A and B are shown apart, each in its own frame.
Chain A
Amino acid sequence: MDRISEIWKLFINELKLFVREPMVLAFVFAFPVITVLVLGGVFELAPPIVFNYIKPSEYYVAGYIAVSIASIGFVMMPVHIASYRERGILRRLKASNFSMISFYVAQFLSGFVMTILSTIALMIAAYLSYGIPAVFSYPGIIAGFIAGTATFISIGILLGNLTPTARSAQALGLLVFFPSFLLSGAGPPPNAMTKIMNNISDFIPMTHSLRAIQEPWLNLGSNKDHLIMLVGTLVITTILWLHLSSRNTSA
């Protein structure tokens, strides 16, 4: 079996397994939709300066793809990888001559598909409620989407390789997800946060993922710095999980 067929087989298999997990589906699809609907409405009466004179619903709709991406990276992927390792499924794949590179490529592909589907669900909800804000730069959004998704899948694989069990991966993922969610601008907007919170926010990958999509969408400036931060994070996390994965499966 060539590498492409191997990746395709694993990818299709992964997609089937994802759609059979109702809890994961609920978190990945429902959480971003529910929160964007709630937050977009809650802050509707906030003073305009809080959102830099952008409509709150537009601010959240344009940024919430990053929440879908982070849900997959922080919640779904770590549990999935840790569970595969904990239950010996990775070793079984390896013993059956599957390449671990093919396995991880299939994770990236299925992660991308899930993020695209989650984004579509989010856009449908936004369209039916607040409307979808006008897009300033499609290439900028696509670059932000690809860099953010790849980075968060990589973070998810790293978390899954750092934790010994699926349960601990879930705990760690949620522990990272909620502070990231609150400090990245996906919860309270940056102008509603203290200076210290904003300083911390600059070091959070989710902030860069959110702004890399939101800024080209709403014409808030170039997303180049955010893309650089995301790609840097992607490279570092990939090196780390490649090392850990090789240690975990061939000790």
Chain B
Amino acid sequence: MSSTVLKVHDLVKKYANKSVVKSIDLEVQEGEILGILGHNGAGKTTSIECIQGLRQRDGGEVSIYGFDPQRQRHKVRSIIGSQLQHSELPDKLKIGEAFQLFSREHKNNIPELLNDWGLKEKEHEYFASLSGGQKQRLFIALALLNDPKIVFLDELTTGLDPFARREVWKSIKKIQRRGITVVLVSHFIDEVEALCQRIIIMKKGRIKAQGTIADIKAEYADEVIVKFRTETTDQDVSWLKKVPGMKAIKRRGRTVRLIGSQQMVVHVGSVMIAHDFVPQAMEIHQASLEEAFIKINGGHFG
């Protein structure tokens, strides 16, 4: 059974007396990828920077492997790896030099990291010469340089093309396979859906939802649409109204749309069989995380 490696209770951060992080609580289990999702200004980056001790929190408690990042800064820094949003390296720093600079005690793993993250051939080149995807791979490799137990990755794929994004996703999965816990901040829904075991959705400095993707979909977007065609335009399907979980039946010509809960899907098939009804071109549309996200954000995506 995995143990809790990060605990946050009642975290508060204010700027000029205005709260930007409002009493958040969260826990991260060892070896999982936790996604923090929210649109710009939701307080995601401020929260994880407070959690890492990079910003002074104004209230609450944070514990990473039992250490407080504010009071035991050096102990925490020695067990975490950070990839920061909007953080670069000097343009004329060579890649090999960056590894030497940021390596603290574990210089032996530099050749391995350069190889693993496809940077070996760039070792003697300047940071400025790297592509967006190569820079992000470098930042991940640097975050792993000192054998961290937990890494924080903030908006890792912003500005990358779809190919480079998927390349970075593979890298994140590789980190997890090494047994390292990952906290991933993103505003890309497909990214957290592809990578994370659990997610937290933030809005205006508060956690609005947290759980597995299935939990969040079930709670905030449990509507399922079953679509099929009848043989004729006047074929009676009114008997479907009695199916448990059914919310509405919409019909246009031969096309029928059943709108209901997950429970409805389970029963629809058996009721159809009982009525000796064979639907044509049947499709089931499950609610997406994007729909849950929009609902949590009050119908606004951004």
Contact = CB atoms under 8 A, between A and B. Distances in A.
Interface string A1-36: 100000001100100110011000000000000000
A194 interface: no
Interface residues of A, number: 20
Interface stretch (A84-92, A122-130, A219-227, A237-245): A84-92
Interface stretch (A52-60, A93-101, A148-156): A93-101
B88 A16 contact: no
B84 A1 contact: no
B3 interface: no
Contacts of A17: 90, 92-93
Given A20-B92, A250-B54, A250-B56, A97 B87 contact: no
A43 to B, nearest CB: 39
A88 B82 contact: no
A196 interface: no
Contacts, number: 60
Contacts of B93: 13, 16-17
A10 to B, nearest CB: 8
Interface stretch (B30-38, B96-104, B282-290): B96-104
Chain B residues touching A, majority SS? loop
A94 B90 CA distance: 15
Nearest to B77: A97
Contacts of A13: 93, 97, 101
B55 to A, nearest CB: 6
Given A17-B90, A89-B90, A96-B77, A9 B101 contact: yes
A251 interface: yes
A92 B54 CA distance: 10
Chain A residues touching B, majority SS? helix
A13 B90 CA distance: 10
A84 B78 CA distance: 23
Interface in B66-99: 74, 77-78, 82, 84-90, 92-93, 97
Contacts of A89: 87-90
Nearest to B126: A20
B186 interface: no
Contact of B55 (A20, A96, A251): A251
B129 to A, nearest CB: 13
B82 A95 contact: yes
A250 B56 CA distance: 6
Interface of A: 1, 9-10, 13, 16-17, 20-21, 84, 87-89, 91-92, 94-97, 250-251
Given A89-B90, A92-B89, 8 more contacts: A87-B87, A88-B88, A89-B87, A91-B54, A95-B52, A96-B102, A97-B104, A251-B55
